[in-house]
Amino acid sequence: MGGTRRWPFGSTARSRALVLQALGVVKVATAEQLRQLALAGTADAQTVRNACKDLRGEGLVESVGSSSRQGKSGQPVTQQLWNLTPAGLAAAAAELDRPVREMGGTAREAAKAGAAHALRVTDTIDALL
């Protein structure tokens, strides 16, 4: 019948590709970090969360951990951590035009542990950009 595939969370091909590329580089990140790195022109992180949810439906990303930080009001804010699955690592390699063997791992265990160091590294990358 033709036509364009509708994604359950309404993400675009561009947002999904940019999320895969960003996770291929940083390995684990919050939706807000991914927004700042790859989709800075969007109003909020919901665009990234929708892309992550659609990619999760395809088995390319997962959220196995969370991180807490202090919010503006001083209250703790918990955010999901997103990382690639093995299939997502291969998809990210294709998006980045790199061999899978050069991509490293999926950072699943780091995400499960809260990925404090990885999140700070991603914040540093964002600050440099």
Positive/negative CA dihedral, 81, 87, 91, 97: positive
| Single pTM value for the model | 0.87
List the helix and strand counts (H, then E) for the chain.
Answer: 6, 3
CATH 1.10.10.10 applies to domain 13-128? yes
pLDDT in tens, the chain (129 residues): 455 678 999 999 999 999 999 999 999 999 999 999 999 989 899 999 999 999 999 999 999 988 887 778 888 888 899 999 999 999 999 999 999 999 999 888 888 888 888 888 888 888 887
Coil vs helix vs strand at 69: strand
The b/e string for 16-36 (b: 16+ C-beta within 10 A; e otherwise) is bbbbbbbbbebbbbbbbbbbb
| Cβ 63 vs Cβ 54: under 8 Å | no
| pLDDT reported for residue 1 | 47
Return the structure tokens found at 118.
Answer: 């990885």
